[in-house]
Structure 1
Amino acid sequence: MTREQEVERPVGREREISTGNRIASGSDDLKIKIWDWERRKQVVSFPTGHRENVFQSKFVSGDLLIASCSRDGQVMLAQLCPAGSLRSTSRLAQHRGPAHKMCLIQEQGCIFLYIKFPILLSAGEDGQVISIDIREENSDKIVLLKNDKGRKIPLYSIHNNPVNRNQFCTAGRDPYIRIFDRRYIGNAKQGEMAKFCPTELRTTKVNVNEGAVGVILIGMYVDENTNYKSRFRGHRNSATVKGVNYYGGRSEYVISGSDCGNVFFWDKETEGIVNIFHGDDNGVVNVLESHPTLPVLATSGLDEEVKVWLPTLSMNDSEEKKILKKKKDYMLRTISRNLVE
């Protein structure tokens, strides 16, 4: 397919619940590939309609609708046939600058009877947050962030509160993380509930995504004079926008990629590094997504592969001691090198 096609907007159908059996990956080749990761099999590969690097792809509804955002500022929707082939693509929204991240806000409803289609939020370097209902023809520009001098603040990240569908947060090229409530978007502060900035960034010109303070954990209800609750360090972050995520059945671990090509695991309570492993041959890991129910992790970076990680099998004592010794040495070398660089 060489040009954008119109897609029939899905209306009045139940939303399929994702089982985690498939992975969608976008790339600089402007394509999205869908994988059955358990069988190590590519299901389909299709052109997205984007004109520049694809930064993120997300399953919107079951396994048949995939949204993507790109350096070209477009937010696209691809619709697959039940057999797996591409049916059509359409443009959902357009930013005036690169669009790095999206998040899904699940509308409330009975999980066993009917689940409404989610709202898609996208953030771009034009300082805009756009709200998209894929059943509607038009999208809504709900936030435009500007600094004290009236200049737009480029946004690199957006995420929703999984237990409150009205709340989402953004981060970008200024030191603040901002928390918004969609119910109050029309007020003078654009629905901004709170903003937060680590103490050491308040007098510097470093943006939140550059990782000067490492990965930080804050509470939901803070003001700009409150410092972070926890900080996780040891990795490096300056080359690209890094993904940070929780891992574990109780979200007991914090995980992030690094410019050293490794994946870092921290204990959420102690802030200690519990594991490091090499995840990218070209030196940067910037996307990490865990399975919705299983202890399985997918990562990607600057090389041409999406990697899926599984827990290792148990070993005898002597083998385990050798591996742990090797792992400890690798962790110490990696952390020391990152601290120096």
Structure 2
Amino acid sequence: MDSADIDGYTGPWIQFENESKSAKPSAEEMEEIEAFMAKKKRFGKKTEKEELEERATIHIEDVYDYQGRSFLHSPHDLDVSLKADYTPNKCFLPKRVIHTYTGHSKALTAIRWFPRSAHLFLSCSMDSKIKLWEVYKERRCVITYMGHKQAVRDINFNRKGDRFISCGYDRYMKLWDTETGQCIKRFTNRKVAYCVKFNTDEERSHLFISGMSDKKIICWDTRSGSIVQEYDRHLGAINTVTFVDNNRKFVSTADDKSIRVWEWDIPVDVKYIAEPHMHAIPAVTPAPNGKWLACQSMDNKIQAFACMNRFKLNQKKVFTGHMVAGYACSPDFSPDMSYLISGDADGKVFIWDWKTTKLLNTFQAHDNVCISTLWHPHETSKVLTAGWDNNVKLWD
């Protein structure tokens, strides 16, 4: 360490005695690293082959009738007209269960009528399967669609019913052919979609929108598989998206406890509703006449919003009595607009008078949460309920 010794001076950077410069991990550290890498590989990106495992099982023999029409064709030999413009004059309260559809092994998440005729309905469940059922005659399960790796969150038919879109917690949205069960396309932006809706306009029937967990509403094109528009103004995960005003506008609700109204294809909201007393709205149903929205609020109320020209809350139409806090129980209207129906967290079904908001009837429908209720659009008193006891029930 003598600085006068010019050749032998090492300064402060000299090595320690017996110092080793190799940075190889020890045997213990090596074991840890290998275990971590094996785990990463197991949960890492799936191979292409694993992802392409969509399939469907058809459960009925008579897929085509004597005229070559498939099961998607609505039957004509019933005592009720299934034409699109037919609505019954007077509806009545359902009294008893006439059929129980069993087949799902876990809780149901959504049920949807086949568009226009409603002679079939689609159900999706936490067992990651989607099933199509008959409403009339033998009431069989027609076809089971399997393609999601995790629970299916939402399903929606296009305007004709020959295709439908599904979204699941595996972060995929899939477009299916209803009749053959073939998966036509997959869509993903690596986020979970909480709701999907097709645009039912003739020119825009190839577009659908999805409400995502990353606060965005995304419009997709089913022909190219690409994103067409993003609506990015909410401050929380999107819960529902509902078309109003002949599909010229749509309404979205989110976890930020607000409601936003959008013009189609304009990514800035035209109306924003958020009051200090408002709660999150996890389920919204439009009325058959297109003038009202029934919004299931987390404070155990259903509130009615007028959605014709000025979008505003009707203070007088508030429906209470049921317990839905924490669940997205979707309500529904009777086709003649005289009743409003909803399930609740205890598995009961509640029916209110739409004009007076008076509670008319309650009955126990399921052993667990009754997550969805649907009133048949052409029948006077047929109601479909789906519960977390894995069953769908048809009431009359």
TM-score of the superposition, structure 2-length normalised?
0.62
**Conservation of the 8 A alpha-carbon contact between 1:252 and 1:269:** yes
1:179 aligned residue: 261
Q: Would the aligned equivalents of 2:331 and 2:374 in 1 still touch at CA under 8 Å?
A: no
Matches within 5 A, 1:89-238: 89-94=184-189, 96-97=191-192, 99-108=193-202, 117=205, 119-147=207-235, 153-161=236-244, 163-185=245-267, 190=268, 192-197=269-274, 200-201=277-278, 206-209=279-282, 211-212=298-299, 214-220=301-307, 228-238=315-325
Whole-angstrom distance in 2 between the partners of 1:40 and 1:63: 19
Equivalent AA in structure 2 for residue 90 of structure 1: K
Question: Percent of aligned pairs with the same residue?
Answer: 21
Question: Which whole-Å CA distance do the structure 2 matches of 1:174 and 1:106 have between them?
Answer: 28
Corresponding letter in the other structure for 2:365:
G
2:346 to 245, 257, 260: 260
2:365 is aligned with 1:279: yes
Secondary structure of the 2:257 match is strand
Give 1:290 deviation, angstroms. 2.8
Q: Which stretch has the larger CA shift, 66-75 or 264-273? A: 66-75
User: How far apart are the structure 2 equivalents of 1:259 and 1:127?
Assistant: 26
> 1:227: Cα distance to partner?
6.5
Shift of 1:306: 1.3
Equivalent of residue 46 in structure 1, options 128, 131, 145: 145
Give the structure 1 partner of residue 52 of structure 2: 4
| Residue number in structure 1 paired with 2:25 | none
Counterpart among 68, 74, 77 of residue 175 in structure 2: 77
Aligned to 1:243: 330
Q: 1:213 to 1:236 in 2, by over 3 A?
A: closer
- Over alpha carbons, which structure has the higher Rg? 2
Q: CA deviation at 1:297?
A: 2.1
Whether the aligned pair in 2 keeps the contact of 1:195 and 1:222 (CA below 8 Å) is no
* Displacement after TM superposition at 1:158 (Å): 1.4
For residue 286 of structure 1, report the CA deviation from its aligned partner: 1.5
Give CA deviations for 1:25-53 in whole Å, capped at 9, x if unaligned: 11111111111121211111120x22221
- Residue ranges of structure 1 left out of the alignment (5+ in a row): 8-14, 110-115, 148-152, 311-341
Which consecutive residues of structure 2, in runs of 5 or more, have no partner in the other structure? 1-48, 56-71, 74-114, 283-296
- Map Cα deviations across residues 188-219 of structure 1 (whole Å, 9 max, x no partner): xx1x1212245623xxxx42345216110022
1:58–1:67 Cα contact (<8 Å) kept: yes
In structure 2, the CA distance between the partners of 1:77 and 1:213, relative to structure 1 (3 Å rule), is same
Correspondence list, 1:285-324, <5 A = 285-295=370-380, 296-310=382-396
Change over 3 Å in CA distance of 1:117–1:293 after alignment to 2: same
**Contact 1:104–1:160 under 8 Å retained in 2:** no
Q: For structure 1, which segment, 212-221 or 192-201, has the greater mean C-alpha deviation from structure 2 after superposition?
A: 192-201
Instruction: Note if contact 2:199-2:247 (Cα within 8 Å) is conserved in structure 1.
Output: yes
Cα displacement (A) at 1:252:
2.4
**Is the 2:300–2:324 Cα contact (8 Å) retained in structure 1?**
no
Which residue of structure 2 aligns with residue 86 of structure 1?
Answer: 181
Matched residue of 1:292: which SS? coil
Secondary structure of 1:239 counterpart: coil
Alignment RMSD (CA, Å): 2.9
Please tell me whether the aligned partners of residues 289 and 297 of structure 1 are also in contact (alpha carbons under 8 angstroms). Answer: yes
Q: Secondary structure at the match of 1:289?
A: strand
Secondary structure at the counterpart of residue 175 of structure 1: coil
How many pairs are equivalent?
A: 274
| 1:261 Cα deviation after fit | 0.8
Q: C-alpha deviations, 1:282-301, integer Å up to 9, x for none?
A: 2x111222333223322212
* Aligned counterparts of 1:143 and 1:170: Cα–Cα separation in 2: 10
How far apart in 2 are the matches of 1:274 and 1:305? 25
Distance 2:196 2:183 in 1: 21
